[in-house]
Chain A
Amino acid sequence: MANPPDIVTGELEAETIERVRGGDATSTVEDERRRLADVWAAGTEEPSWVRRATSEGAQEMLVEEEGGELSSQRGTAVGDDYVLEDDTSGEETQILNMGPQHPSTHGVLRLQLELEGEKIRRVKPVIGYLHTGMEKTGEALNYLQGPTNVTRMDYLSPFFNELCFSLAVERLLDVEIPPRASAIRVLMTELNRMASHLLWLATQGLDIGALSIMIYGWRERELLLDFFEKTTGLRMNHNYIRPGGVAADLPDGWQDDVAAILDQIPKGIADYEEILNENPIFIDRTQGVGVITPEECYALGVSGPVLRAAGVPWDLRKAMPYCGIDQYEFDVPTRTHGDVYDRYLVRMDEMRESLRIVQQVADAMPAGDYRTEDRKVTPPPRARLDQSMEALIHHFKLFTEGPKVPAGETYQAVESPRGELGMYLVSDGGAKPWRLHVRGPSFAAVQALPVMMADSLVADIVATLASVDPVLGDVDR
């Protein structure tokens, strides 16, 4: 700590002033002198500027006495389990900013780390760098345009965003979805779950130095993206699942593509497990790292593979089934330790379970229409427009105005690859949502990072961060 400035003579070291001011040109030296005099006159042992070294205004990491990030979790099962060791003191901590440009932060997440040597004392996630006001945009788009907006939120699992939005709208509309549409939805979302987990595996490997895994993960994912492109026209942001059904039927020869996927992906998974499961470096980097307990998951709203790796068999596909997914046989894989390694194992097993579901869907794909016949949401077929004036009017109204949805509010959640993806939809009876709130699984996961990272080493940060699989488009929306 710097020596107290000499208040009597008014002499301040220029260096001290510079550090305290943080290069802000608006406050004068006189102001600083007065403020510092106050600080020292108050007799505080630790002037507030000692740890306030990030010049971040309201986003400053607060000193602990004022209610730092972790102390907010007092009074519950969630706690700051850091124990101050005798040979260290608060004066030896430093704040390190990781991100938002750091390559391992999966986008533009920023973590303020308070370090004591190599140890993390506190973590404060700072988000918002990718905020594009998609909830506000959602209020300006009608219910047919809505999926184009929400599909861009969690860009690694776009089908789930579209599905969640469509289910919420359909609940308000009270329309029946044909079995083929539901089966196609299950097929596409489960394939998407695999694609997302494969990309997670690639980046998890990349982040802890296993470069070959990165290449492998992307190789298998390409198979799935090719199929998505063939079906929807796009590799990402498909706008394929829409209120009332899906945008188009599966392409000719889809059985062969799915068969190829069902043939290739298990081989890939076996390869990865052979590389990673017994790999001493991988085990060292992941076992016992980033631990979170079920109680902490509940309190912080963490769901998905992170919760299941902590030992809770909670999966919305089982607990609150949608799209008739309960008619397919699959298990909910769980582990017990709640660390990075267990999350890896859970995701690998989930890919196998998704393959099981895809196999069942492909074997028993119902015939019929791929979207509802309800003219409230589905336009009449093209041929009808030449014959019927009503059909023409319906068609015109649907595409200019959008379908009108009865007033009401509902919350719909689906099990996305990252956990519970929920949408809270309020309709005023018009053709656009009055309010569209998206509860992203990554938002809750980022909030839980301080609990997982507290008391770990700096090197474990990237392993822990990658293991919760945050998508910043989902966090910031």
Chain B
Amino acid sequence: MSDDATRPADEVAAEEVVEHAAATQEGAADEAAAEQELVADPADAPEVSDEAPEPEDDLEPAPASGLPDAGLLPDDPVMAAIVGSVPGARYESSFGQDVIHVDREQLPAAAAAAAEQGFLMFSDLCGVDYLRRRPRFEVVVNLTSLQHRRRLRIRAGVPGGDPTAPSITGVYPGANFYEREAYDMFGIVFEGHPDLTRILMPDDWEGHPLRKDFPVGAVPVQFKSSPQVR
């Protein structure tokens, strides 16, 4: 039994958060240099941050490129009701699909508003690492309304320097595993999650593999070692 197992889980998680935040701050200076190395071809990264002036507010999600109708209040009452009840929410139609951008603090409120409007089924939650965009990460929640036969995607930017977001497990219990996966893969800490531990990677894995600056093929494969018994 490792030392961690004997301590309360929230204490361990809190320490991880602190350690992680410290590591991120230390690494911030090197980040630009590292990005240059890792993203050798600039065309590989999304072309948003370079042209667009970076907003002062780190939480304001950058609009996706090539989608001019972002921010317009939607016509139909369902979307308008959700956008209207969440402060700072913006509607966007992405290839004919309904997308609502919210601040990360408003994630549970947006989820609750969507549930109120009939989006009862939780479909999906995942993280995305945009690396050179601000905010760096994004949490994407997919909801389905059986009543309206339509989908809704809620996107919330999460800054790379402080990768935390409130958990929506209070609204949709099904987000439990998905938030664990996003934490495991991107290091996004969901505050209020009942049991935020790694779900796919081994417990002692270092780093978060789906981050774009996680090296591929450059490190030896990490294995969970067995304790020596003799």
B-binding residues in A (CB < 8 A): 20-27, 35, 48-49, 52, 55-60, 62, 66-67, 69, 71-73, 75-76, 78, 127-128, 131, 133, 135-136, 140, 171-172, 297-303, 312, 314, 319-320, 406-411, 413, 420, 422, 424, 426, 428-430, 432, 434-435, 437, 439, 443-444, 446-448, 476-477
Minimum C-beta distance from A301 to chain B (A): 4
A75 touches B170 (CB 8 A): yes
Minimum C-beta distance from B148 to chain A (A): 10
Could you jot down 18 A-B contacts, CB within 8 Å?
Answer: A20-B1, A22-B1, A25-B228, A27-B1, A52-B1, A58-B12, A58-B198, A69-B195, A299-B120, A408-B66, A408-B94, A422-B142, A426-B128, A428-B44, A444-B177, A446-B177, A476-B200, A477-B200
B123 touches A422 (CB 8 A): yes
Q: Which residues of chain B have C-beta atoms less than 8 A from A447's C-beta? A: 174, 176-177
Q: Which residues of chain A have C-beta atoms less than 8 A from B176's C-beta? A: 72, 447
Within 8 A of A (CB), among B44-83: 44-47, 64-67
For the A-B complex, the count of residue pairs with Cβ-Cβ distances under 8 Å equals 180
Which of A171, A301, A409, A476 touches B121 (beta carbons < 8 Å)? Answer: A301
Chain B residue with Cβ nearest A434: B46
A4 to B164 CA separation, bound complex (whole angstroms): 42
Which of A60, A128, A413 touches B200 (beta carbons < 8 Å)? Answer: A128
Minimum C-beta distance from A363 to chain B (A): 29
A424 touches B124 (CB 8 A): yes
A58 to B11 CA separation, bound complex (whole angstroms): 12
A56 touches B5 (CB 8 A): yes
Within 8 A of A (CB), among B146-164: 146, 149, 151, 153
The 8 closest A-B pairs by CB, nearest first: A72-B194, A22-B1, A301-B174, A439-B124, A300-B174, A58-B197, A437-B126, A128-B200
B3, B5, B46, B140: most-surrounded residue (chain A CB, <10 A): B5
B97 touches A48 (CB 8 A): no
A434 to B39 CA separation, bound complex (whole angstroms): 12
Chain A residue with Cβ nearest B184: A128
Which of B47, B124, B153, B201 touches A407 (beta carbons < 8 Å)? Answer: B47
B3, B177, B197: most-surrounded residue (chain A CB, <10 A): B177
A448 to B177 CA separation, bound complex (whole angstroms): 10
Known: A67-B194, A444-B174. A57 touches B5 (CB 8 A): yes
